[in-house]
Structure 1
Amino acid sequence: MTCPICSAKTNPRYRPFCSKRCADIDLAHWLGGGYAVPSNDPDDAEEVLDALEKALAPETRKPH
């Protein structure tokens, strides 16, 4: 079996990767959304838009 990141021989300690470095690169892909599956589902798009609107909306609290 070869490492899915660099194609080197895998190391049993880091299987299926060859090293901690390649394992960390793979983790970064997951955390950064690099392995996300695009969706054309309108419901998903609406949820994202709602979340963005809430996150970007100015504070509605009054100053003390």
Structure 2
Amino acid sequence: MSRMTVYPAAGRVVPDPEAGGDLPAEGREVPRDAYWLRRLQDLDVTLDAPKKAKTIPKTPALSEPGSTE
């Protein structure tokens, strides 16, 4: 049986019957069977790895014009 790597969709907790517990956020290789194909169809999981959150550097707050700071 072939295998595929799946990741939980944003905001979803997906039971993993093969490994026990829930599918980890970093994804896992699972069998391409009826259970996981149904999770894909229901949009509980995705084949696309989640995008890394970009860190935006914080800039100091600018004081408003005319303020006495």
Structure with greater strand share of residues: 2
Structure with greater helix share of residues: 1
TM over 0.5: no
Higher relative contact order (CA 8 A, sep 6+): 2
TM-score bucket (shorter structure): under 0.3
TM-score (norm 1): 0.23
